[in-house]
Structure 1
Amino acid sequence: MPVIPTQKLLYKISESCKQQPKNQLAEVQRKIIVTPLLKLFPQVPQEALYYELLNSGLFKPHEWMALDDTVKQLEERDVWGIVKKEYRRLKPLWDGPKVRIYIYPLTNNRPIFEGMTANKNGVAFNKALFLFVTTDLAEAELTTLFVHEYHHSCRLFYLNKTPQEMLLKDSVVLEGMAEWAVEELYGEKSLSPWAKRYSYEEALMIWKQSFVPALNVKGVGNHHAYLYGDRKKQLPKWIGYCIGYHIVQSYLKNKGPVEQSTLCKIPTDDLLAGSDFSTD
């Protein structure tokens, strides 16, 4: 069962929280959502996994009171069915791995991007991916979110690296590949706004100045400044995502069309070497 029926877990959380004091709400959420995941992530402490999900957009424990209504609306919009259909289409198309897909409500405490409050987010691993969504999320946005995250799972399955082993160059290429997958399936209009935020020339200049010296920095947690931007490092917003997109586009321009099932298995160094973004 690739798409886990998380609506059942959500109803269970709602029912359990009605009988618990406020200081036990987090424990209820952790027990019902996180504990079953430990078999997929045996090396990850439960608290660390819980924090990762919360940090990625999982609804906060105190938001349980809206769960029943939220789940009913998501069911009416057939969110689980839409994702299942897309997974069944993409897995053979990309020769992708079997993953477990978890769908949960997005927290009300949402960041603001480009002047708009976020209405979705996701996080992917090579064995599982998580989608955090709102009840007003359009079907097209839901499918592009899934495409992006499932492509991450495909790439991570090939790389076979833990988050701590990932290099900065792996993370940048990972994001660029996922955005290309979205564009290939749904067109340029479906790209994230930061994919083309900076021109090819701007991206190449920043790549040479700031990224090339840091390409072997290990650990996903150490890549955030490069992906999202950092004033102290003089890195503009979303620059890593934009550079990743330009890298993949230049590789395809130089090498010609490549099937996704092949593209996601190209070693990072080979892809960089075939692009305009050399590491020299």
Structure 2
Amino acid sequence: MKTLGKVLLIPAFCFMFMGCSNHEPVKKKEPEDSHITFSQEEQKFEIIYMYDEMQDYIDTVREQTGKSNETVFIEKVFEPFKKKSNMEEISLRYTFKPSSEVDKLGQSIKELEKNKDMTNRIIKEALLKSAKELPGKDKKYVILPANPEDTFTVEQMGGVSGFVLSEYVIVLQLSPSVQEDILKYTVAHEYNHLIAEESNRGMIRGILGGVVLEGKADAFAHTIYPKIEVPWQEPMTTEEREKVVAEITELRYSSDMKSYEKLREGISSKDIPQWANYKIGYEIVQSYRKNHPETSIERWTSMHEAEIIAGSDFEKITAYEGVSSND
């Protein structure tokens, strides 16, 4: 979809656009309901809410200090975020945009605070289910309110978007309209991205890699929650599929984020549907799984896209003749 902006979706494909580092955690006492920890066997999880920091941003903007919204946002939200997530080297421009609609943002925070217990329950349930199927290293989920200007998240993403920052950290942005099923699904989807990153740390991915990466995450989330339906899994027609395959075959080695985003948005002039990258990625991975039912979730999650494609019914997408599956 966040993530997976930014959507569930800004794929781990965006690792190639940002430098990240993980330092020792900054020791700072957190309000009990803003920092939740739990475990699945030896794997530890943290849910970190940043509603208070966002409220500080709103209050400071309202004071009309003469500082720009971006300056205030960096001071009140972004710098604390970097410390809490241990992501000291990330760039603001690849992650967040400060909202100018502070009154609407403040109202969103109030509504999200009321539902925090439910949000905790949903995220914890989804993480424990995901970790049981696919254990890994310790993980953090950082929760922020979505910008009121982000109508895409509200109208098409079920009120939640997510994106990966490292093999340890996911950001979820929520609106008060967040749907329980979509939140569960998104948590599982993004969790698979984290495990994939553990296996392929620092790997540079092109468009084709991003397509397969999203397919893995959707295949995993569908395994955890088989009854939850998401719009980006609606099947394509034969004609749509042929055009999408032709497009990603042409773009496969590109690392142009704009071209990748066009696949998500759809290209009407080429009759390529919205969510094309997710749709075809999901079909590729499910085709591989059908052809190789003996392959474990852990194995195909860590597999290079070349191997996935070569073992699927979409091997014509690119010439990976020399690649074979070692299941």
- What is the TM-score of this pair, normalised by structure 1? 0.81
Q: CA deviation at 1:204?
A: 4.6
- Stretch moving more, 137-146 or 116-125: 116-125
Q: Does structure 1 conserve the Cα–Cα contact (< 8 Å) formed by 2:212 and 2:281?
A: yes
Q: Hey, what's the Cα distance between the residues in 1 that align with 2:157 and 2:224?
A: 25
Spell out the pairing of 1:35-54 with structure 2 (5 A cutoff): 35-38=79-82, 40-45=86-91, 47-49=92-94, 52-54=95-97
Match status 1:176 vs 2:215: yes
Aligned residue number for residue 276 of structure 2: 239
**SS of equivalent residue, structure 1 residue 271:** helix
Per the TM alignment, residue 135 of structure 1 is displaced from its structure 2 partner at its CA by 2.1
Superposition deviation, residue 33 in structure 1: 2.2
* Pairs within 5 Å for 1:151-166: 151-161=192-202, 165-166=204-205
| Corresponding residue for residue 198 of structure 1 | 236
Preserved CA contact (<8 Å) 2:288 2:311: yes
Contiguous gaps of at least 5 residues in structure 2: 1-36, 38-45, 320-327
Q: CA deviation at 1:263?
A: 2.0
The corresponding residue for 2:19 is: none
Please tell me whether the aligned partners of residues 207 and 255 of structure 2 are also in contact (alpha carbons under 8 angstroms): yes
Shift of the 204–230 alpha-carbon distance from structure 1 to 2, 3 Å rule, reads: closer
CA distance in 2, matches of 1:219, 1:92: 35
- Of 42, 45, 48, 1:4 maps to 48
2:187 aligned partner: 146
Aligned to 2:16: none
Quote the offset at 1:221 in angstroms: 4.4
Total equivalences in the alignment: 269
Cα distance between partner residues in 2 of 1:149 and 1:90: 10
Higher relative contact order (CA 8 A, sep 6+): 2
CA distance, structure 1, for counterparts of residue 111 and residue 172 of structure 2: 15
Structure 2 residue identity aligned to 1:106: A
Q: CA separation in 1, counterparts of 2:201 and 2:264?
A: 21
Contact kept, 8 Å, 1:17 with 1:64, in 2: the verdict is no
Alignment correspondent of 1:230? 267
Mapped to 1, the partners of 2:124 and 2:179 lie a distance apart of 16
Deviation of 1:246 after TM superposition, in Å, equals: 0.7
Query: Which of the residues 157, 161, 164 maps onto 1:124?
Result: 164
Deviation at 1:111, TM superposition (A): 3.5
Amino acid paired to 2:93 = A
The corresponding residue for 1:32 is 76
1:137-160 Cα deviation digits (max 9, x unpaired) = 232222112111222222233222
Q: Residues 105-147 of structure 1, C-alpha deviation per residue, up to 9 Å, x if partnerless?
A: 122223459x758522111232311111122323222211211
Between 250-259 and 17-26, report the one with greater CA deviation.
17-26
Structure in which a larger fraction of residues adopt helix: 1
- Paired with 1:213 and 1:43, the residues of 2 have a C-alpha distance of 34
Q: Is the 8 A contact 2:109 2:145 kept in 1?
A: no
1:102 partnered with 2:142: yes
1:248 aligned onto 2:285: yes
Match of 2:131 among 80, 91, 103: 91
Q: Percent identity?
A: 19
- The question of 1:74 aligning with 2:115 is answered yes
2:215 and 2:90 mapped to 1: Cα distance?
A: 27
CA distance in 1, matches of 2:177, 2:305: 37
Listed as ranges, the matches of 1:9-24 within 5 Å are 9-21=53-65, 23-24=67-68
Report the Cα offset of residue 69 of structure 1.
1.7
Structure 1 residue aligned with 2:313: 276
Q: What letter corresponds to residue 130 of structure 1 in structure 2?
A: V
The aligned counterpart of 2:206 is 167
The 3 A distance-change label for structure 1 pair 118 and 141 is closer
Check the 8 A contact 2:158/2:182 in 1, yes or no. Answer: no
Letter in 2 for 1:193: P
1:181-237, Cα deviation, whole Å (9 max, x unpaired): 2211111x42321212404x3455224422112211125444212333224555332
Q: Would the alpha carbon gap of residues 22 and 92 (structure 1) be closer, same or farther in structure 2, given more than 3 Å must change?
A: farther
**Separation (CA, whole Å) in 2 of partners of 1:222 and 1:161:** 22
SS of equivalent residue, structure 1 residue 123: strand
> For the structure 1 residues 67 and 119, does the alpha-carbon distance in structure 2 shift closer, same or farther, using more than 3 Å as the test?
closer
Tell me how far 1:166 sits from its aligned partner. Answer: 1.8
Q: Normalization by structure 2: what TM-score?
A: 0.71
Q: Tell me the distance in 2 between the aligned counterparts of 1:20 and 1:60.
A: 13
Contact 1:179–1:191 (CA under 8 A) maintained in structure 2: no
Q: Among residues 174, 193, 199, which one is paired with 1:133 in the alignment?
A: 174
Partner Cα distance (1:181, 1:117) in 2: 18
